[in-house]
Amino acid sequence: MSHEQELLVVGAGPAGLSAALAARSLGVEVTLIEADARDQERPGSRALFVHQETLERLGRLAPGLGEKIAGFGILWQVARTFYRGKEVYARRYDTEQVSGLPPYASLRQLDTERFLLGACRAAGVEPVWGARVVSVRSDPNGVTVRAENGGEWRARYVIAADGARSAVRTSIPIEMDGGRSSDYRVAVDLSGEDPGGAPAERHLHYRHPALDGRNLLIVPFTGGVQVDVQCRDPADGEALSDPDAVRRWLPRVVSREQAERVLWVSRYPCLQRVATCFTDEHRRVLLAGEAAHLFAPLGARGMNSSIADAEAAATAVCLALRSTGVERARGVVEDYDTVRRQAARHNRARVEGALRHLRAESAWSRLAQAGAARLASRLPRLGAWLDKAPYGPRGPITLRGGLY
């Protein structure tokens, strides 16, 4: 076993890398351990959208990092909304006029992770690769962590950022509440810019006629576009993600040239779960990111809120380490639990609102969407509603006014 660390972070995804960076920026000694081997690429389509608030946050953790990510990501120039194949609303972004950090940056998660890892290395944190945590035991003085490869660590605090199937969370154990909704999505990432040289545009289709009336979102990112289909149920998701089926439906919604450039196809259920507590009984383990919550990917709440957790968790650990007295240290960690669990519940509720809107189960909501589409050219605020509602309500959700 190595000497007792101040902080051990488990998992080098967006939450873990950000937590390690935040810890370093606060002068906390940190070790970051990761199950995957070095340079192992994680396949599949994941988060694209890095919000301005996150770019600012990352800039606080590592000067210049927000600008780097923003410089690599893209802003789309137009967001178009279609209803039954007909364009009903367009929102334009003046991408030339952006000064300072842009309102968002769109890039693949693996690129965001590459920038985060670069910043960690610059801050002197190299993950311990190939160390899959299998057991975690906390006690009033700290935490003992064991990995499958025989590695063993002792730390005063642990940030569990080991994702949806968190071994740390199950070791403690902490339950998740909430369930799996019947919503299912299929995401296909396509590489390359539009061969026709078209500018980057986000397209949202309500009831796409070429997809038997399913909803569809097409989102550009640096180096490609993501095509995201809202399926009717899990069986529909399975059928639509079959490689032969993808070859049939994809050319109906993007150009033939684009349809040839499939990077990967992901099929996923919309889980809406939040841990019942973000810390253990001894207040030594702090859950962050998808180890603590899972949201359906609407409104970009997954990765953005994971990075917000990470900064808050590292700050709590720093304060707890410097606290005089056990009770104060416990209190700081309990505050983290209260604030970030509340944020996660707000996030989940907002995603639930977006899912309800997209499901349009009641005759009234279907009528409202059809009516808004019909009147949007005369009443642009109805078009704006169709454009924004699939992301869920906005507005500050935390005590400090953050959006995630």
Ligand X SMILES: Cc1cc2nc3c(=O)[nH]c(=O)nc-3n(C[C@H](O)[C@H](O)[C@H](O)COP(=O)(O)OP(=O)(O)OC[C@H]3O[C@@H](n4cnc5c(N)ncnc54)[C@H](O)[C@@H]3O)c2cc1C
Shortest Å distance, C-beta 16 to ligand X: 5
Contact in structure between 154 and 5 (CB atoms under 8 Å): yes
Q: What sign has the CA pseudo-torsion 120, 121, 123, 124? A: positive
**Is 14 near ligand X (CB under 6 A)?**
yes
Pairwise CA distance, residues 126 & 404, whole Å: 28
Contact with ligand X (CB under 6 A): which of 77, 135, 181, 266?
266
Pairwise CA distance, residues 293 & 306, whole Å: 9
SS3 sequence, 57-122?
HHHHHCCCHHHHHHHHCECCCEEEEEECCEEEEEEECCHHHCCCCCCEEECCHHHHHHHHHHHHHH
Pairwise CA distance, residues 378 & 393, whole Å: 24
Pairwise CA distance, residues 297 & 165, whole Å: 17
Tell me which residue of 287, 285, 305 sits closest to 295, measured CA to CA.
305
**Is 369 near ligand X (CB under 6 A)?**
no
Tokens of 53: 């608030």
Select the span of 27-35, 118-126, 136-144, 198-206 touching ligand X (CB under 6 A). Answer: 27-35
- Closer to ligand X by Cβ: residue 128 or 370: 128
- Closer to ligand X by Cβ: residue 21 or 35: 35
Size of the site for ligand X (CB under 6 A): 37
- Closer to ligand X by Cβ: residue 25 or 31: 31
Contact with ligand X (CB under 6 A): which of 73, 142, 163, 224?
163
Contact with ligand X (CB under 6 A): which of 5, 21, 30, 49?
49
Which class for 177: exposed (0-12), middle (13-18), buried (19 or more C-beta within 10 A)? Answer: exposed
Contact with ligand X (CB under 6 A): which of 21, 28, 31, 34?
34
- Closer to ligand X by Cβ: residue 167 or 355: 167
Contact in structure between 219 and 226 (CB atoms under 8 Å): yes
Start-to-end Cα distance in the chain: 37
**Is 13 near ligand X (CB under 6 A)?**
yes
Select the span of 59-67, 289-297, 373-381, 384-392 touching ligand X (CB under 6 A). Answer: 289-297
**Is 127 near ligand X (CB under 6 A)?**
no
Contact with ligand X (CB under 6 A): which of 23, 48, 125, 382?
48
**Is 112 near ligand X (CB under 6 A)?**
no
- Closer to ligand X by Cβ: residue 34 or 337: 34
State which amino acid sits at residue 22: A
Query: What residues from 182 to 241 belong to the interface with ligand X (CB under 6 A)?
Result: 187
- Closer to ligand X by Cβ: residue 32 or 332: 32
Residues that bind ligand X (CB under 6 A): 10-16, 33-36, 44-49, 109, 132-133, 161-164, 167, 187, 266, 268, 289-290, 297, 300-304, 306
